[in-house]
Amino acid sequence: MNTFYVITNYQKDPELKTAGSIKDYLESKGKTCYIQKPENGFLPEQYRYTDAQKIPNGVECVLVLGGDGTLLQAARDLVECSLPLLGINMGTLGYLAEIDRKNIQPALDQLIAGEYSVEERMMLHGVAWHKNKKMLSDIALNDIVISRNGRMRVVDFNIYVDGVFLTSYSADGIIVSTPTGSTSYNLSVGGPIVAPQASLMLLTAIAPHTLNSRPIVLPDNVEIAIEIASGHSIDGDGAVANFDGDTSVKLNTGDRIVITRSECRVQMVKTRNTSFLEILRQKMNS
Catalytic residues: 68
- The whole-angstrom separation of Cα 32 and Cα 2 is 6
Phi-psi region of 15 (alpha: psi -120 to 50; beta: other; left: phi over 0): alpha
CB 195 within 8 A of CB 95: no
Amino acid identity, position 256: R
DSSP letters, 33-47, are EEE---GGG---TT-
3-state helix, strand, coil in the chain (%, to 5): 20, 40, 40
- The whole-angstrom separation of Cα 7 and Cα 71 is 9
CB 223 within 8 A of CB 161: yes
CB 209 within 8 A of CB 123: no
Terminal Cα-to-Cα distance of the chain (whole angstroms): 34
**At 55, phi and psi to the nearest 5?**
-75, 125
CA dihedral of 16, 23, 140, 210, whole degrees rounded to 10: -60
- The whole-angstrom separation of Cα 42 and Cα 261 is 32
The neighbour count for residue 14, using CB atoms within 10 Å, is 9
